[in-house]
Chains A and B, each alone.
Chain A
Amino acid sequence: MEPRVEKATVESMGESSPEISVVVPVAERPWALDRLYREYAPALEATGEMFEFLFVLKPWAGDLASPLADLIRDGAPIRVLETGFQAGESEMLAAAAEVCKGSVILTLPPYPRILPDAIPELLQRVRSGLDVATARRLLTESSWLNRIQNRAFHTLLRWWVGGDFKDVACGVRAMRKDAIRDIPLYGDSYRFLPLLARREGLFVEEVSTKQHPMDGKTRVYSPGIYLRRFLDLLGLVVLVRFTQKPLRFFGFLGSVFGLSGSVILVVLFFQRLGGQDLADRPLLLLGILLFSLGVQAIAIGLVGEIIVHFGASARRLYRVAEVVPSAERTGERDEG
């Protein structure tokens, strides 16, 4: 479900329509939003194209948007959207894409991550054929600790999911508006948007950019954040590698548990035949527990397969890049 856009305040673009929509999902550690606008607007003006800024706020965001009021009064092309319920960045982007006017969307985090002078190149890459151009920060400003964290995260990502992304979660991305409907936008998918977009068959590339000095502070996160990132990654692995074949994942887990449990139970069975009493053998509990876990994992995998089986006929399973010569009877099952 996408969040309902509650209100769209002042918009001052005059008659002509903007070509670039800058979407800022204001979700975590926001900077002063007026400073953010002043930081990036000149780079967009330099492109010579019309643009608009859409700040997407959670409900009850308090005074976050109030600094923007002066800018809006002065005629800055800013729209402030407030979502109808607590939404993540994915839903915020999806909601903004519904109402934005530009044919190219540029997403920015609510704090500066890259120097503004890289923005024109990102937009240019989309104009010249890419579906998504995502910024890759050269981590010149980060501390060694953050650099190691980043490296470790992306190495795990490469091992488990594949791809060659060096800064997948940067959040500064230019994309064709038409491409957005092909990207699954829900939950935490915003973080891995370039990867998921490439999985959908879109053309995605990283563009090296200079890191903003404000982005360079050493950040030590709480253990909860690391756990969340790990779970994100695990979810991504299953999503990317086993979406069409859940039983391969759950079946493997189930077989490991089930087989170890079975081995224990068989050994105990023969010991019982040899006259040993099982009443004081906790190993029996372990055997049954492992066996039971195995059955449960496989059963969950089978339920997944049922969902995939019935979903497969309704979902578009592939993306066609080109048909030569074009067909009279178009192939794709549907566009949803």
Chain B
Amino acid sequence: MRPYPHLSVVVPLLNEEANVGPLVHAVRTALTGVTTWELVLIDDGSTDSTCERVREAAAGDPRIRLVKLARNYGQSTATQAGFDHALGDAVVTLDGDLQNDPKDIPVVLDKLGEGFDLVVGYRVRRKDRFLTRRVPSWIANRIIALITGVPIRDNGCSLKAYRRSLIDRTVLYSDFHRFVPALAVGAAGARIAQVSVRHHPRTRGVSKYGMSRVTKVLADLLTIKMIQSFRTRPLRLAGAVCLVSLVASGVFGALVLSRSVGLVTGSATVFTGASLLLASLGVFVLLLGLVAEVAVRHRGGRPDRPPIVSEWGR
């Protein structure tokens, strides 16, 4: 059994046949100073010859590894597959289209060596279109920072470095690769640093992103916020919503009462209906919160305990 490498570089690929060769070359060049490393390329169900290109690159170089997924699962799951197969103590993720510069890998690694669990790159002098890419991205980063409370400058930058212990306690699924820092802090308790990295425009292949992701990001953001704040106590969230509904129900109830005792003249039918509807909403949400508590209690998998991130004394 060969020793585990110090560093794993994980790159999910979807139809990047033109980029595989240059990517492997760039990583090899960038990592000449690193003692042991591996490049884990995940083929996320490509329909072009990406897989063959990776096989060619891997021939004769055991540091290059291919993990071919049975179908297209999306970037988050593909990255998770890379994490699961990576052997390194430190793991760096990159985009498959060479928009990140592998020369920055030593930079993020150095930062990781200072004691952080996650180092996130932010792209300076981005080479993307201003209106359709950079402006939405700027707004999204501000909203994400505001809602999650984790002020990351560039959530869309794939160049990140992870300590193995962090990877072992996070799971990427759905489209949560964009929210790794928020998840890492909220659900896994990580220390995070940010470093500036270079950005190159895509020169080969086509982008897999479009504007349709805006609504998806919003739905995901709500989920992340909930996971951050209420993952182990959903009843608190439900209780708050229930309380608001019951108070609103009480306001309409008071209006009904004022009419029935003759303080105000007129029909009380509509207000009675409104009061009952709001009360039923409150009860429903409370019951749902109880179901959520049951779901939390019956969770499967790894034990959900906070990691100890530092320790003093003897």
- Check if B281 sits within 8 Å of A292, measured CB to CB: yes
- Bound: A78/B10 CA distance, A: 52
- Bound: A283/B304 CA distance, A: 47
Q: Given the known A-B contacts A279-B266, A306-B234, are A331 and B220 also in contact in the complex, defined by CB atoms under 8 Å? A: no
Residues of B within 8 A of A239 (CB): none
Q: Mark B192-216, 1 if CB is under 8 A from A, else 0.
A: 0000000000000000000000011
- Check if B223 sits within 8 Å of A323, measured CB to CB: no
Which residue of chain B has its CB nearest to the CB of A328? B1
Residues of B within 8 A of A46 (CB): none
Q: Pick the contact of A325: B65, B231, B292 (CB < 8 A).
A: B65
Residues of A within 8 A of B302 (CB): 313-314
Q: Does B67 contact A (CB under 8 A)?
A: yes
Q: Pick the contact of B68: A288, A313, A322, A329 (CB < 8 A).
A: A322
Interface residues of B, dominant DSSP: helix
- Bound: A305/B187 CA distance, A: 14
Q: Does B241 contact A (CB under 8 A)?
A: yes
Q: Does B306 contact A (CB under 8 A)?
A: no
Q: Does B184 contact A (CB under 8 A)?
A: no
Residues of A within 8 A of B166 (CB): none
Q: Given the known A-B contacts A317-B77, A323-B65, are A201 and B71 also in contact in the complex, defined by CB atoms under 8 Å? A: yes
Q: Pick the contact of B173: A277, A295, A317, A324 (CB < 8 A).
A: A317
- Check if A251 sits within 8 Å of B58, measured CB to CB: no
Residue total for A at the interface (Cβ-Cβ under 8 A): 55
Q: Does B73 contact A (CB under 8 A)?
A: yes
- Bound: A170/B300 CA distance, A: 36
Residues of A within 8 A of B62 (CB): 325
Which residue of chain A has its CB nearest to the CB of B84? A331
| CB-CB contacts below 8 Å: B257-314 with A | 259, 266-271, 273-274, 277-278, 280-281, 284-285, 288, 291-292, 295-296, 299-302, 304
| CB-CB contacts below 8 Å: A235-254 with B | 244-245, 247-248, 251-252
Q: Measuring CB to CB, which residues of chain A are less than 8 angstroms from any residue of chain B?
A: 198-202, 244-245, 247-248, 251-252, 277-282, 284-285, 288-289, 292, 295-296, 298-300, 302-303, 305-315, 317-325, 327-329, 331-333
- Bound: A321/B54 CA distance, A: 15
Q: Pick the contact of A279: B2, B58, B241, B271 (CB < 8 A).
A: B271
Q: Given the known A-B contacts A303-B291, A313-B301, are A202 and B270 also in contact in the complex, defined by CB atoms under 8 Å? A: no
- Bound: A201/B74 CA distance, A: 13
Task: Give chain B's interface residue range (CB within 8 Å of chain A).
Answer: 35 or more
Q: Measuring CB to CB, which residues of chain B are less than 8 angstroms from any residue of chain A?
A: 1-2, 4, 54-55, 58, 62, 65-71, 73, 77-78, 80-81, 84-85, 87, 171, 173-175, 215-216, 219-220, 222-223, 226-227, 231, 234, 237-238, 241, 245, 255, 259, 266-271, 273-274, 277-278, 280-281, 284-285, 288, 291-292, 295-296, 299-302, 304
- Bound: A201/B73 CA distance, A: 9
Q: Given the known A-B contacts A310-B300, A318-B70, A321-B70, are A305 and B84 also in contact in the complex, defined by CB atoms under 8 Å? A: no
Tell me how far the C-beta of A166 lies from the nearest C-beta in chain B, rounded to whole angstroms. Answer: 20
Tell me how far the C-beta of B138 lies from the nearest C-beta in chain A, rounded to whole angstroms. Answer: 24
- Check if B274 sits within 8 Å of A318, measured CB to CB: no
- Check if B84 sits within 8 Å of A333, measured CB to CB: yes
Tell me how far the C-beta of B78 lies from the nearest C-beta in chain A, rounded to whole angstroms. Answer: 8
Tell me how far the C-beta of B224 lies from the nearest C-beta in chain A, rounded to whole angstroms. Answer: 9
Q: Given the known A-B contacts A245-B175, A296-B281, A314-B300, are A303 and B223 also in contact in the complex, defined by CB atoms under 8 Å? A: no
- Check if B173 sits within 8 Å of A312, measured CB to CB: yes
Tell me how far the C-beta of B271 lies from the nearest C-beta in chain A, rounded to whole angstroms. Answer: 6
Which residue of chain B has its CB nearest to the CB of A202? B70
